[in-house]
Amino acid sequence: MNKATASKVIVTGGCGYIGSHTVIELQQSGFDVIVVDDLSNSSAETIDRSVQITGKSPVFVNLDLKDEKACYSFFKEHQEASGVIHFAAHKAVGESVQKPLMYYQNNFFSLINCLSAMHELEMNNFIFSSSATVYGTPETLPITESEQTQRPFSPYGNTKKVAEEILEDFIDSTDKFAAISLRYFNPIGAHDSGLIGELPSGIPNNLMPYITQTAAGVREKLMIFGNDYPTKDGTPIRDYIHVVDLAKAHVVAIQRLLDKKKKKNYEIFNLGTGIGYSVMDVIQTFEEVSGQKLNYEITDRRPGDVPFLFASTDLAKEKLGWVAEKNLSEMISSSWEWERNFRNKNK
Ligand code: NAD
Ligand code: WQD
């Protein structure tokens, strides 16, 4: 028998970039949090930092969710949790092209082990971290959730598309299980405290950490991947969203699943601001907020990049009552603040 209480939430991958911000928002909204993470792309220090911010300590379990038995034991131990937010996955697009099997293994086995344990233990509320990458090259803009998904360019992206399909098939086979997939656009930014933020291992793939690391002197220059796209300045347009806004959407999503009147079997929501900015817009805003010139050079297009990607945010607004609140300057200044704090501490 499931002894669900409304207040405990399991966060897989809760030491990572988006997970750690979500842990804080959950705690500040009154939830008790159980973090499970194998620290393959994060550090347990994040937990100490979140305690500094909220004054509350989450339970932390260091565990690889690919390990089926260990995963089941973990869920059994914490079966009183009322919901699960599943962030744990590998996420580097380039690495996934080099090591596709590692990506399929980690992202699928972790998901399937979590779902199997939950099924066995009658734990029924699940939030899945998906990505706008499932839209491939979209036919219409802004992209609505009803847009047909396409095979993404990378094995990483494909893990998200197929994971959504696995989730849907599983939901179709059960009565009680309910899930929400959240398709993130481009998360950037860091917590206002300056204590947690994005910490990519090795050379960053993504634009924002590459910019802040270049400005901090860790990288020599940013290479801009093409300026011959059919956009206003030739560089691709993306929908950047502040990680704290994103984290807040997870709180609202879990609350929706816990509300019997609102909960549906399966729903999908885009999480973006609905506003598209070019790479040059991001650089210009960075230079404004930091008061610093950025060293950059134009190079060839990066394979797989699409010219335009921005969300329709109507569904999240209508059903979740959620809208992103922070603008591009706030996103970029918090990323820069985090980078500077981190580099100063580690001098
Ligand atoms: P992250 O790498 O910072 O966090 C993922 C966490 O999961 C890490 O702490 C890692 O140690 C942990 N983890 C990985 N495999 C695990 C396993 N087998 N067992 C236990 N823990 C494991 O990544 P993030 O940016 O916070 O992304 C979180 C989720 O959001 C991921 O599923 C990612 O694919 C998805 N997502 C991220 C972005 C983005 O741009 N950051 C965009 C769309 C979707
Ligand atoms: C943004 C723009 C690049 C780096 C990726 C994943 C997606 C999702 C979010 C997880 C593009 C340009 C970048 C650089 C550059 N992640 N750029 N020089 O590609 O929109 O999305 O992260 O789910 O799945 O694909 O984000 O930050 O890599 O790139 O010019 O060194 O910046 O060409 O136009 P992307 P990004």
pLDDT in tens, 278-303: 999 999 999 999 999 999 999 999 99
Q: Can you give the pLDDT at residue 338?
A: 96
Instruction: State mean pLDDT over 241-263.
Output: 97
Distance 347 CA to ligand 2 centre (A): 28
Closest residue CA from atom 41 of ligand 1: 187
Which H or E run contains 2? none
The DSSP string of 253-319 is: HHHHHH-TTT--SEEEEEES-S--EEHHHHHHHHHHHHT-PPPEEEEPPPTT--SB--B--HHIIII
Say which residue the tokens 């973090």 belong to.
35
CA distance 57 to 73: 22
Instruction: State mean pLDDT over 92-102.
Output: 96
Is the minimum distance from the CB of 187 to ligand 1 under 6 angstroms? yes
Q: Do 75 and 121 meet the contact criterion of CB atoms below 8 Å apart? A: yes
Q: Do 268 and 130 meet the contact criterion of CB atoms below 8 Å apart? A: yes
CA neighbor of 129 nearest in space, from 238, 249, 264: 249
296 among known catalytic residues: no
Q: Can you give the pLDDT at residue 322?
A: 98
Instruction: State mean pLDDT over 266-276.
Output: 98
Pocket test for ligand 1, best of 12, 21, 34, 37 (most atoms within 8 A of CB): 37
Q: Do 329 and 242 meet the contact criterion of CB atoms below 8 Å apart? A: no
Distance 37 CA to ligand 2 centre (A): 25
Each as own residue / partner, the long-range contacts of residues 249-252 (CB below 8 Å, 24 or more positions apart, any chain) are 249/182, 249/316, 249/320, 249/322, 250/22, 250/25, 250/26, 250/85, 250/127, 250/182, 251/22, 251/25, 251/26, 251/29, 251/31, 252/320, 252/321, 252/322
Which ligand 2 atom minimizes the distance to the CA of 131?
23
Q: Can you give the pLDDT at residue 1?
A: 37
Confidence of residue 139 (pLDDT cuts 50, 70, 90): confident
Confidence of residue 19 (pLDDT cuts 50, 70, 90): very high
Q: Can you give the pLDDT at residue 3?
A: 42
Pocket test for ligand 1, best of 11, 34, 113, 129 (most atoms within 8 A of CB): 129
| pLDDT exceeds cutoff 50 at 179 | yes
| pLDDT exceeds cutoff 80 at 2 | no
Closest residue CA from atom 4 of ligand 2: 207
Closest residue CA from atom 28 of ligand 2: 206
Which ligand 1 atom minimizes the distance to the CA of 15?
9
Burial of 277 (0-12, 13-18, 19+ CB in 10 A): buried
| pLDDT exceeds cutoff 80 at 208 | yes
Each as own residue / partner, the long-range contacts of residues 46-55 (CB below 8 Å, 24 or more positions apart, any chain) are 46/15, 46/16, 46/20, 46/196, 47/15, 49/20, 49/195, 49/196, 50/20, 50/23, 50/24, 50/195, 50/196, 52/193, 52/195, 53/24, 53/191, 53/193, 53/195, 53/196, 54/24, 54/27, 54/28
Q: Which residues pair with 308 in a beta bridge?
A: 237
71-105 burial, b at 16+ Cβ within 10 Å, e below that, comes to bbebbeebbebbbbbbbbbbbbbebbeebeeebbe
| pLDDT exceeds cutoff 90 at 253 | yes
Annotated catalytic residue, options 103, 135, 156, 210: 156
Instruction: State mean pLDDT over 8-31.
Output: 98
Is the minimum distance from the CB of 301 to ligand 2 under 6 angstroms? no
Q: Can you give the pLDDT at residue 200?
A: 86
Query: Which amino acid does the sequence have at 141?
Result: L
Instruction: State mean pLDDT over 98-122.
Output: 98
| pLDDT exceeds cutoff 80 at 5 | no
Q: Is the pTM of this model over 0.95?
A: yes
Confidence of residue 4 (pLDDT cuts 50, 70, 90): very low
| pLDDT exceeds cutoff 50 at 123 | yes
Is the minimum distance from the CB of 225 to ligand 2 under 6 angstroms? yes
Pocket test for ligand 1, best of 11, 21, 41 (most atoms within 8 A of CB): 41
Closest residue CA from atom 18 of ligand 2: 224
pLDDT of 44-60, one tens digit each? Answer: 999 999 999 999 999 99
Is the minimum distance from the CB of 238 to ligand 2 under 6 angstroms? yes
Confidence of residue 207 (pLDDT cuts 50, 70, 90): very high
Q: Can you give the pLDDT at residue 347?
A: 73
Helix (H, G, I), strand (E, B) or coil at 80: coil
Say how many Å lie between the first and final Cα of the chain, rounded: 53
Q: Can you give the pLDDT at residue 249?
A: 98
Which ligand 2 atom minimizes the distance to the CA of 188?
27
